[in-house]
Chains A and B, each alone.
Chain A
């Protein structure tokens, strides 16, 4: 068998990856301020609107899903 990849076994690599990820987020926030926009809706032209919307969407997605789980979760052989 070939040699295994192990890059994410080392915590410093995970840390490097996350740092790069956070930097790219900051870059996106800054770049957006200088982009000309002609959105169909006025709020599309607000700086960094999509960043906020994406973040809020995903957080609310998770929290609603957690509540939903309380209602719909059943045992794996519920239908047996």
Chain B
């Protein structure tokens, strides 16, 4: 494969030259990189290549099969859309980190060994942190700090698992692992953290809404979905994932209903959607894995579309809270339309992409007779329409008129949204090409009468509930508030830890400073100047013979502090002290 350049290298190395190029050429160069990566992908045959021999190990940078290929395609497609959306951003930090981030995600996808996987994994965490930092607000700095800490924790879990795995198996190559033993649990937690499985999820809804307008588009696509890929690679058919996934689909929608920040609503619905994928991986049948992979593909497009359309609102108005927005369809009709296409797709409306992908996962659950899981998934499907499908467009573009009058975002942003929207509809109408690239042969037919009508009923009657609750005033009003999540444990816990450690350790420090660092030299100094008196004082104190009068004793002893004191005494005391330290040292070690 010497005639091909690895796609991650195109994006990562290519990113480094971005700051050197100016003007129109820069725009062309930025767009060229993902296109070039995509062309390389098309030329890459299945197999294992780009093997680099380092020390005693083989690093495999190109493990190409049907599973990794689908993710490779969608990561490059979304990189192109994301770059186009961010084209007018005059901040090289964002361009460089977005490209490095995308390149690393593709690197993770094609890594066939743990070492190269881990390097790309960490590079992804670092590069994405800069997309939060680049917003340059106090809130984003804090969120970025928490984000990187959480991901360092996740990365260390993964690393611990990898090291134990290599110790046990003697190889750094990996494919199916399965939950079996300590190594696999560490790896599972490391991947699971990036997939935002509860209770390790709060970094996502904490950080994504604080990222830059354009950075959030990349983030919504890459971190969780590369984790989905890796989970599908290493833990398919793990029963635990079915239940984790089902929980993941259900819990975030309650938060999404209450949340005021539109991009945070989207972050919660992102967790909900990844829940479907986790569930599919857990079920692990061919239908479920196909469903998971195709859903990841569609999800990346419509979630990016939602983040782009709401990001455009933030970009044009500077506002993103439900309480501040409303009535924007009047001046941003195209953005509104794109948002609604994204909303219809995430809700799995017939003729929108979610319908042809999510249904496979739900069907897989019913084929396996998982009653409770099926009921939860259907509940979550209705719920996601409720908050992401209706709430996001309704409170942003309709609802009460906020009085904001703005205009459509710049052409490049509209184009990027248009491309994503086109894919959302095209995939739904012609699912064939997507089905053809899935890991297993597809026998699934999405458009049956029962499925279309059943899904429409589920969604439309969910919408009826929304309508009636809004009209009757029962719908929980939008409020400026924080809703506690599991990040409470480390945000409050971290502060508590800091305070406790501050009090205890600094307290001990102060006490030992007073008792040892200050008192002992003073006492030793006195002892060497007036040894007899000092020792006698000690003797008096120790035995409690308070009736002894010091002055009497002084008379009986040598006069002190005179030249009559043998020079050897302080030296002797010092030697005894040092010797006792030495003995202590010997015994302790």
Contact = CB atoms under 8 A, between A and B. Distances in A.
A18 B471 CA distance: 11
B521 interface: no
Interface in A34-80: 35-41, 44, 48-55, 57-59, 61-62, 64-66, 68-69, 71-76, 78-79
Most buried by B among A44, A49, A57, A71: A57
A40 B367 contact: yes
A6 B485 CA distance: 39
A75 B481 contact: yes
Interface string B443-479: 0000001100111111111111111010000111001
Contacts of B398: 8
B581 to A, nearest CB: 48
B457 A51 contact: yes
Interface stretch (B44-52, B159-167, B250-258, B529-537): B250-258
A50 B385 CA distance: 14
B453 A32 contact: yes
A35 B386 CA distance: 26
B307 interface: no
Interface residues of A, number: 49
Contact of B469 (A9, A29, A57, A62): A62
B3 interface: no
B339 to A, nearest CB: 15
B101 interface: no
A47 to B, nearest CB: 10
Chain B interface mostly: helix
Interface stretch (B172-180, B327-335, B420-428, B563-571): B327-335
Contacts, number: 149
Given A5-B333, A54-B461, A65 B482 contact: no
Contact of B456 (A6, A28, A65, A71): A28
Contact of B407 (A1, A18, A53, A76): A1
A12 interface: no
B484 interface: yes
B366 interface: yes
Contacts of A4: 330-331, 405
Contacts of B457: 28-29, 32, 48, 50-51, 54
A69 B450 contact: no
Given A31-B453, A61-B253, A61-B383, A72 B366 contact: no
Given A69-B476, A74-B482, A25 B460 contact: yes
Main secondary structure of the interface of A (DSSP, over half): helix
A9 B400 CA distance: 10
A68 B258 contact: yes
B182 interface: no
B483 A58 contact: no
B254 A54 contact: no
Report which residue of A8, A51, A61 has the largest number of chain B beta carbons within 10 angstroms of its beta carbon: A61
A40 B369 contact: yes
Contact of B484 (A49, A50, A72): A72
Interface in B350-394: 363, 366-367, 369, 371, 374, 378-379, 382-383, 386
Contacts of A59: 465, 469
B405 A76 contact: no
Contacts of B461: 25, 50-52, 54-55, 58
B453 A78 contact: no
Interface string A4-36: 111011000000001001001100110110011
B480 interface: yes
B467 A21 contact: yes
B257 A62 contact: yes
Contacts of A48: 457
Contacts of B386: 58, 61
Contacts of B479: 73
B491 interface: yes
Contacts of B463: 21
A62 B476 contact: yes
A73 B481 contact: yes
A58 B460 CA distance: 11
Nearest to B401: A9
A31 to B, nearest CB: 6
Given A4-B331, A62-B257, A37 B450 contact: yes
A71 B482 CA distance: 11
Nearest to B250: A61
B528 to A, nearest CB: 55
A35 B287 CA distance: 24
Nearest to A76: B480
Contacts of B363: 40
Contacts of B476: 62, 65-66, 69
A44 B454 contact: yes
Interface centre among A21, A31, A58, A74 (most CB of B within 10 A): A58
A65 B483 CA distance: 11
Contact of A75 (B449, B482, B491): B482
A73 B483 contact: yes
A64 B379 contact: no
Contacts of A39: 366, 450
A18 B454 CA distance: 21
B324 to A, nearest CB: 13
Interface string B24-63: 0000000000000000000000000000000000000000
The 7 closest A-B pairs by CB, nearest first: A58-B465, A40-B366, A54-B458, A54-B461, A50-B457, A51-B457, A55-B461
Given A28-B453, A51-B461, A57-B458, 15 more contacts: A1-B405, A25-B460, A35-B453, A40-B363, A41-B366, A50-B455, A53-B458, A54-B457, A55-B461, A65-B257, A71-B484, A72-B258, A72-B483, A74-B481, A78-B484
15 contacts: A1-B407, A5-B333, A25-B464, A36-B449, A37-B450, A40-B363, A44-B450, A50-B453, A50-B461, A51-B458, A53-B382, A54-B460, A55-B462, A55-B465, A66-B476
